[in-house]
Amino acid sequence: MGSFRSKMLAVSLGGVSLLALITAAGCSKLCNIGSAPLGNAAAAQASKPEGRAGRPPMPFPQESGDDPEENPAPQTVNVFGEVNGAGPRAVAMTGAAAFQQHTFTDEGFDGDVCADPTGKWLVFSSTRNSEHPGIYLQRVDGTAVTQLTSDGVDNAYPSFSPDGKQIAFCSTRAGNWQVYVMDADGRNVTQVTSGPMQCIHPSFSPDGTRLAYCSLGGRSGQWELWTADQRTGEKRMIGYGLFPSWSPDRSTDRIAFQRARQRGSRWFSLWTLDLVNGEGRRVTEVAQSGNAAILSPTWSPDGKRLAFATVVQPGKGAAVKLKGQTDIWTIDADGTNRQRLTDGHGMNLMPFWSADNRVYFVSDRGGTECIWSVRTESEKTFTAEAPKKDAGAVSATDVHKDTGAAGAADVHKDSSAVGAADVHEVTH
């Protein structure tokens, strides 16, 4: 198996995870978690802010056959959104920052972690028993591991509903990536999306009635953000971006996501949008970095903060070799008070902020790609220094556009927010 560093890239499914769709580095096999027959689609977009002219030069993906066995060998979509560019033990605790290891595997990799509303159960994808990633359920303490899918196809990006009774996920069982919902015990699987578009990374609304997800295909040829109402079946495009995460705060209808600053770029930044009458509005860039890509945002349980992963010097090319470290960070929803949770050792990607106030993530710090966690309130944290002059900080200039396009209204760079520029310049 290749190194976690060289493969985590594809894990984020096309932008997908850090894969599991996007986390950027390339989990050795995490990288292949987002593998799905995408036809001859070229490298996926680095989406461009709504309201600007031009579209990335990516062809419409070819529709796969209905029979997975008739499809060609799986192709991967990496954490940058590019197509073709992976028995129970006691929990281990190490280090001053109280890192805990929750899953252990000698074969394959674990990825795409999500915790249930109680903070007692984890759901994740894994290739521990097959070359095709499946969905697994496990107690946080490392016991009671249950395989929820075992159908010989790829399954990834599991996400608990707010009441913990259902799990949304994506799968290639219909020939290409589509979104599904099943009971928390793996029963009663229902298909949510269909058609030739590749749909991944579902996230539940606070009331559990809607799902946000990203989709590649359609007329734009970019990764698009969509919502699906499970009650009516209505689906709406709300903007452009990858790996949406719906805020648990019921007082606002807000979604966080990653989006590239320029067409064809891997330099992603963190954005949010508000849903107003089902339409994407007030699209705001919350954080950017002058030396790293910001990936896979996830909300704190109260919706006031965000965690995300960074990849320094994300590079370019089909075979990506990471030049810099990857880490997990937290930041207030207004872009201030950023802190680094990990210590720069190994790959650290695909974060999820749990109700127990720990951030779970995928890391190879123990040798293989497994699920780890770290406290968000720790005696030892790593706080970013103030951005240096010309270091790529978020501009203080308000960019306010209302083009009327889906998800393009109110593109706003908050002048009061301190950008996450040079997030890897830290003090220890």
Angle 114-98-3 (CA atoms, 0-180°, nearest 5)?
65
| Domain 90-427: CATH architecture, name and number where available | 6 Propeller (2.120)
Compute the half-sphere exposure of residue 182: CA atoms within 13 Å on the CB side of its CA.
21
Across the range 327-346, mean pLDDT stands at 94
Answer with the residue of higher pLDDT: 50 or 79.
79
Q: Residue 291: which residues within 8 A CB-CB, separation 6 or more?
A: 312, 313, 324, 392, 422, 423, 424, 425
User: Cα(23)–Cα(393) distance, rounded to whole angstroms?
Assistant: 22
- Please state the pTM of the whole predicted model: 0.74
User: Cα(81)–Cα(67) distance, rounded to whole angstroms?
Assistant: 25
Across the range 170-199, mean pLDDT stands at 96
User: Cα(54)–Cα(48) distance, rounded to whole angstroms?
Assistant: 8
Residue 220's pLDDT band (cuts 50, 70, 90): confident
CA 165 distance to own-chain centroid: 22
Q: Is pLDDT of 64 > 70?
A: no
Across the range 91-113, mean pLDDT stands at 80
Are the beta carbons of 353 and 376 closer than 8 angstroms?
yes
Which pLDDT score, from 0 to 100, does residue 22 have? 34
Per residue in 223-242, pLDDT (tens digit) is 999 999 999 999 999 999 99
Residue 317's pLDDT band (cuts 50, 70, 90): low
Which pLDDT score, from 0 to 100, does residue 323 have? 55
Answer with the residue of higher pLDDT: 342 or 8.
342
Answer with the residue of higher pLDDT: 124 or 344.
124
User: Cα(83)–Cα(113) distance, rounded to whole angstroms?
Assistant: 22
Sheet holding 210-216, edge to edge: 198-204, 210-216, 223-229, 235-240
Residue at 345: amino acid letter: H
Which segment of 148-152, 236-240, 376-380, 401-405 scores lowest on mean pLDDT? 401-405
Nearest Cα neighbor of 419 from 309, 289, 284, 258 is 289
Which pLDDT score, from 0 to 100, does residue 3 have? 36
Mean pLDDT taken over the chain = 74
Place of tokens 């040798």: 367
Q: Tell me what percent of the residues of the chain surpass a pLDDT of 70.
A: 64
Q: Is pLDDT of 349 > 50?
A: yes
Per residue in 257-300, pLDDT (tens digit) is 999 988 778 999 999 999 999 999 999 999 999 899 999 999 99
Answer with the residue of higher pLDDT: 322 or 103.
103
SS3 label, residue 69? helix
11, two tokens: 């894990």
Compute the half-sphere exposure of residue 241: CA atoms within 13 Å on the CB side of its CA.
35
Answer with the residue of higher pLDDT: 345 or 258.
258
Q: Is pLDDT of 55 > 60?
A: no
Are the beta carbons of 304 and 295 closer than 8 angstroms?
no
Residue 407's pLDDT band (cuts 50, 70, 90): very low
When computed from its CA atoms, the radius of gyration of the chain, rounded to whole angstroms, is 19
Which pLDDT score, from 0 to 100, does residue 71 have? 44
Q: Is pLDDT of 351 > 90?
A: yes
Q: Is pLDDT of 49 > 80?
A: no
User: Cα(374)–Cα(13) distance, rounded to whole angstroms?
Assistant: 24
Per residue in 370-387, pLDDT (tens digit) is 999 999 975 454 444 433
Strands 412-413 and 279-287: parallel
Which pLDDT score, from 0 to 100, does residue 16 have? 36
Which pLDDT score, from 0 to 100, does residue 265 have? 86
- Phi-psi bin for 381: left (phi > 0), alpha (psi -120 to 50), beta? beta
Which segment of 64-78, 87-101, 200-214 scores lowest on mean pLDDT? 64-78
Q: Is pLDDT of 390 > 60?
A: no
Q: Is pLDDT of 427 > 90?
A: no
Q: Using the Cα atoms of residue 408, residue 413, residue 416 and residue 422 in order, give the sign of their dihedral.
A: positive
Q: What is the DSSP letter of 44?
A: P
Q: Using the Cα atoms of residue 266, residue 267, residue 271 and residue 276 in order, give the sign of their dihedral.
A: negative
Answer with the residue of higher pLDDT: 318 or 177.
177
Q: Is pLDDT of 334 > 70?
A: yes
Per residue in 126-143, pLDDT (tens digit) is 999 999 999 999 999 988
SS3 label, residue 158? strand
Q: Is pLDDT of 194 > 60?
A: yes
Across the range 361-370, mean pLDDT stands at 94
Q: Is pLDDT of 251 > 70?
A: yes
